Structure 1
Amino acid sequence: MKLGLIADIHEDVDRLRQALDRLREAGADRLVMLGDVFEMGHRLPETVALLRGARVPGVWGNHDYGLCVDPDEEMRARYGPEVIAYMATLTPRWVEGEVLVQHVEPRGNPEELLDLWLPGVWPPTSEQLAADFAAFPQRRAFAGHRHCWRAMTPEGPLPWEGLGPLALPADRRCVVVVHAVADGWCGLYDAGEDVLTPIRLD
């Protein structure tokens, strides 16, 4: 399986369209959205229309939470039924085989709003690493939120900043943070080869 990873769109419709095109060209079998569709609401219907048209499932982010979890009548009226219907499909976590996707690193509980604003330092502390890898059973976890490329194993960060493909260590579990579409990035994870390839947009 080749999994296309789309993180932190923030209503950047033009770059989202590029990401969808580039991931199709790269042979993605599935696409998944890692949270933060929303920015200010100005281009939300157009953003959602692209995601719906491409049948992209996903998870909610800190910016999306209010639209996904019991939106009030004002939000429903402002954004309309198609936006609300798509946002209702977003979940706190998405799992496919040995892959976990959520908006923040696994130590953050995406069902708790404050956890979705998860602060962090880099490199992570040994306590943060332990909490991350204790929080999920899969071999690979992908998160967004940070607007950068990062990767870590239980032993610590990997020396990688998204400047080229990352061959994930076969003998270790990994958490990978995916850079933002809004900043001109998406990624392709080839589960067969166990390689993540950053894709630069623009």
Structure 2
Amino acid sequence: MRHAVVTDVHGDTARLRAVLEGIREQRVDRVVCLGDVFECRVGKREVDGYEFGGRLADVFDPDPELARLLDGVLLVRGNQEERIRALVPDHRLPEWTRPLLDAPLEHRTGFALYCHGHPLPWRELEPGLWCPAEADFPGRALVHGHHHRSALYRLWPGGTGPVRVERLPLRFGTPVPLAPDGRYVVNVGSVTRCAPDRGPSPVWAVVDEAAATVTYHRAPVPPSAQPTEKQ
């Protein structure tokens, strides 16, 4: 099965539309969204003690176009969705938000674990470069978002020591084979605009489980996309 994987939209409808248009040109069996579709306007340090004042727009931008664009997509929730769910009383949430806010934390196949990534055990490989190297996952690959960087790592068991992490080169549009005896971490990259040192956006990845390859893709930035800084 070929999965087209998108993640970290953060309310950027124009860029999401551009990515989905690019995906239509690929022969995929399923589209998977790994969460952070919304952008919560209440910071994680402000959640404790927050009282909902009655306006959804104070918490997030309730844009039903996001749900329409992702209709039929396999959804996984991210930390933004979890925060919104914690801040807004259930009865104040529009019905169209529920598939996004109540999506499962992960999707598993025999080949890979697909998740947003926020609960994973992250290790800083070098300043600003993080990888969930110690994560426990079934199959050959861990496919995640959250870090807003297109990156591919092979994990080498270190015996009693830490797992050795090898960052693999990738070129957009070129499939990278995943060895049958290897374990890999696939950081998809983000739909929304990210910091320059994290690479291009909007991006997505195609995970071909039958061929055991991952291919990174990028879409042109639509003129209507507004520059935003997200995390």
Shorter-chain TM-score tier: 0.7 to 0.9
Is 2:38–2:61's contact at 8 Å kept on the other side of the alignment? Answer: no
The one-letter code of the counterpart of 1:150 is: A
Distance 2:37 2:107 in 1: 16
The one-letter code of the counterpart of 1:95 is: R
Is 1:152–1:174's contact at 8 Å kept on the other side of the alignment? Answer: yes
Corresponding residue for residue 65 of structure 2:
46
Cα root mean square deviation, aligned = 2.6
- Report the alpha carbon displacement of residue 122 of structure 1 after superposing the two structures with TM: 2.7
Structure 2 counterpart SS, 1:158: strand
Corresponding residue for residue 191 of structure 1:
209
TM-score by length of 2: 0.69
After superposition, the Cα gap between the structure-2 partners of 1:104 and 1:152, relative to the gap in structure 1 and judged at 3 Å, is same
Is 1:76–1:84's contact at 8 Å kept on the other side of the alignment? Answer: no
After superposition, the Cα gap between the structure-2 partners of 1:161 and 1:43, relative to the gap in structure 1 and judged at 3 Å, is farther
Corresponding residue for residue 166 of structure 1:
176
The one-letter code of the counterpart of 1:158 is: R
- Report the alpha carbon displacement of residue 103 of structure 1 after superposing the two structures with TM: 1.0
Corresponding residue for residue 107 of structure 2:
94
Structure 1 counterpart SS, 2:216: strand
Question: Mean alpha-carbon deviation: is it higher for 154-163 or for 28-37?
Answer: 154-163
The number of aligned residues is 182
- Report the alpha carbon displacement of residue 201 of structure 1 after superposing the two structures with TM: 0.7
Corresponding residue for residue 62 of structure 1:
79
- Report the alpha carbon displacement of residue 24 of structure 1 after superposing the two structures with TM: 2.3
Corresponding residue for residue 24 of structure 1:
24
TM-score by length of 1: 0.78
Mapping 1:177-188, distance limit 5 Å? 177-182=187-192, 183-188=201-206
Structure 1 counterpart SS, 2:215: strand
Structure 2 counterpart SS, 1:84: helix
Question: Mean alpha-carbon deviation: is it higher for 187-196 or for 159-168?
Answer: 159-168
Q: Which is higher, the Rg of structure 1 or of structure 2?
A: 2
Structure 2 counterpart SS, 1:21: helix
Structure 2 counterpart SS, 1:47: helix
Distance 2:191 2:23 in 1: 12
Is 2:30–2:74's contact at 8 Å kept on the other side of the alignment? Answer: no
Distance 2:99 2:3 in 1: 24
Gaps in structure 2 of 5+ consecutive residues: 42-59, 157-164, 193-200, 221-231
- Report the alpha carbon displacement of residue 191 of structure 1 after superposing the two structures with TM: 1.5
After superposition, the Cα gap between the structure-2 partners of 1:121 and 1:139, relative to the gap in structure 1 and judged at 3 Å, is same
Q: Residue deviations 1:142-164, cap 9 Å, x none?
A: 00011111222222123325544
Is 1:3–1:190's contact at 8 Å kept on the other side of the alignment? Answer: yes
Corresponding residue for residue 137 of structure 1:
138
Structure 1 counterpart SS, 2:80: coil
Corresponding residue for residue 122 of structure 1:
125
Is 2:81–2:100's contact at 8 Å kept on the other side of the alignment? Answer: no
- Report the alpha carbon displacement of residue 96 of structure 1 after superposing the two structures with TM: 2.2
State the identity as a percent.
Answer: 27
- Report the alpha carbon displacement of residue 35 of structure 1 after superposing the two structures with TM: 1.3
Is 1:102–1:143's contact at 8 Å kept on the other side of the alignment? Answer: yes
Q: Residue deviations 1:138-195, cap 9 Å, x none?
A: 2111000111112222221233255443222222111111010113111111112211
Gaps in structure 1 of 5+ consecutive residues: 109-117
The one-letter code of the counterpart of 1:193 is: A
